Structure 1
């Protein structure tokens, strides 16, 4: 009976892609009633979008929950975000935590802001910086803006710890995904706080998270969704970031919403400047024919925690000047710093002494 159910579910996705939304929902009703998690998730998407079914977020939530209880990753991720947007933060927390542990960018961003503001979770600026950094590295625009604000508010020492924690969280996320996939592949019942299910058509982890019998394109956040923003700390000159609304086209617009009420807290003591690094290994950041371009790049990277204490080096090479950061004690330290720079959207090359 599994093959016909999958065929009906896939046929519904094909109908959906042709714009035949009513027909798609009819294809999914049978498999969903028999417990097909992909079909249940798809019906949830239809109710959320109001295509092939009347728009009804409560019904969408119910279908997402059915699929999530069977370990459907996309359903679990979407359910957590939906509950959060409905201001049911305590109920959303285990879903968001599980999503963040797998590396879901929006969940990491929400939890990062929560830890920064101390909203429903303990205030932890190191973890806030780590989670927001990982979300920004994935390309989430609002996380990038939030990280810029955090750079102006979080002391350098805590940001450096955040960079190290981000690398540790990424390793744990990879291990978590592998562990969950293996458990699901062996037929073990997935944990309620970290659901996962294998694909019906392929054995790879990436395909397992988004099987071809699931609607995902343009549907995850087709309705406007307001994301949180960091709150300004009293004494900081950093502006209050406005929440964003993500539209169906993928364009991000600034939502005109009241600024969050500032939290009264003591300004953290600034960490002392790091000692000047003395190692021989270097990181090349680029080669420039115009010095102003090298100056511009250095102004963007010199404040990053992975380059703290590492001085600028300009090396003439023919008609161009190579821009480097020096003072790394060994290749491992230089590789780690270069990796963090790449995660932040910069290019670099480790140079041997």
Structure 2
């Protein structure tokens, strides 16, 4: 008898759950079954009515080209609608998307907002920008604090960047940064209470797919507007004649991956090595190499 009562109670709770939550769940289930057309059809009317989760999901669909053609303009529109309603993933993804596409100021504005709420990807990118003075006033102490908070949450790229910062920043600066990081962590708003319907969360696959954008955004850190710093370079080749190294640099110097950097012609016995830099970390140098493909390239520590 009690069992029947529990079943009835569960059915009642399901019946009174918000219709939008139930519909959002149906869209997530369709997405997980790779029925992207159905998922988009479910989310669109909800997003148009102002549902932030649905707007974020729809933005991911446009960004990934699932259920709709790839359209980064439409993706940005839906991300911004969700971001303006306080959707943390939307703020981060929008910031990264804008940063990647050259709107540094707009991207950093949203990334800062997400970073203040403790989002690890936003903490990494905004913290690195602060460290470099890239699009914001240079503040290595605060930059170290932000990256430290990101690394503390387990983000691998943040751990690697923090290790590089440890190698170039004085101990006193790092201590100040850690103190700020601890204070900000205590001031961070507590986690939002669990929602009555867990399925209102954004579908996992699109959220995870957004994470590589963090590494893409790191390629742009250290703009020509501020002097590049760091202990890493990229090596493009070794030549018997310096003139050959200079010729290669002239061919690749227009590549955006080398923006704000300068060539180094390093003599090593009978050869001249062409290196370009500096870069803040090995990861940043590797990202620059990736941007130069098919040109052979690898990161090296500055001598």
Work out whether the TM-score is over 0.5.
yes
Shift of 1:92: 2.0
Q: Number of residues paired by the alignment?
A: 224
Q: Given the superposition, is the C-alpha separation of residues 237 and 102 from structure 1 closer, same or farther in structure 2, using an over 3 Å criterion? A: closer
Tell me the residue number matched to 1:220: 207
- State the distance in 2 between where 1:237 and 1:254 align: 14
Residue of 169, 178, 182 corresponding to 1:167: 182
Match of 2:196, SS state, is: coil
The answer to whether the Cα contact below 8 Å between 2:148 and 2:158 also exists between their aligned partners in 1 is yes
Shift of 1:159: 0.9
Tell me the residue number matched to 1:50: 65
The answer to whether the Cα contact below 8 Å between 2:151 and 2:159 also exists between their aligned partners in 1 is yes
- State the distance in 2 between where 1:140 and 1:5 align: 33
The answer to whether the Cα contact below 8 Å between 1:43 and 1:60 also exists between their aligned partners in 2 is yes
Match of 1:219, SS state, is: helix
Shift of 1:255: 5.4
Shift of 1:238: 5.2
Gapped regions of structure 1 (runs ≥ 5)? 182-197, 203-210, 246-251, 260-353
The answer as to 2:290 corresponding to 1:256 is: yes
- State the distance in 2 between where 1:103 and 1:60 align: 24
Q: Given the superposition, is the C-alpha separation of residues 59 and 200 from structure 1 closer, same or farther in structure 2, using an over 3 Å criterion? A: same
Tell me the residue number matched to 1:126: 141
The answer to whether the Cα contact below 8 Å between 1:129 and 1:150 also exists between their aligned partners in 2 is yes
Whose relative contact order is higher, 1 or 2, with alpha carbons under 8 Å and at least 6 apart?
2
1:1-353 → structure 2 map (5 Å cutoff): 3-173=18-188, 176-177=189-190, 200-201=195-196, 212-220=199-207, 222=209, 225=213, 226-228=216-218, 237=231, 240=279, 241-243=281-283, 256-257=290-291
Using structure 2 for the length normalisation, give the TM-score. 0.65
Tell me the residue number matched to 1:321: none
Shift of 1:254: 8.3
Shift of 1:70: 2.4
The answer to whether the Cα contact below 8 Å between 1:153 and 1:238 also exists between their aligned partners in 2 is no
Gapped regions of structure 2 (runs ≥ 5)? 1-15, 234-278, 298-303
Match of 2:204, SS state, is: coil
Q: Given the superposition, is the C-alpha separation of residues 144 and 254 from structure 1 closer, same or farther in structure 2, using an over 3 Å criterion? A: farther
- State the distance in 1 between where 2:39 and 2:194 align: 20
Which structure shows the bigger proportion of residues in helix conformation? Answer: 2
The answer to whether the Cα contact below 8 Å between 1:102 and 1:177 also exists between their aligned partners in 2 is no
Match of 1:102, SS state, is: coil
The answer to whether the Cα contact below 8 Å between 1:32 and 1:39 also exists between their aligned partners in 2 is yes
Q: Given the superposition, is the C-alpha separation of residues 255 and 28 from structure 1 closer, same or farther in structure 2, using an over 3 Å criterion? A: farther
Tell me the residue number matched to 1:315: none
- State the distance in 1 between where 2:101 and 2:129 align: 16
Shift of 1:242: 4.8
Q: Given the superposition, is the C-alpha separation of residues 47 and 238 from structure 1 closer, same or farther in structure 2, using an over 3 Å criterion? A: closer
Match of 2:138, SS state, is: coil
- State the distance in 1 between where 2:74 and 2:37 align: 16
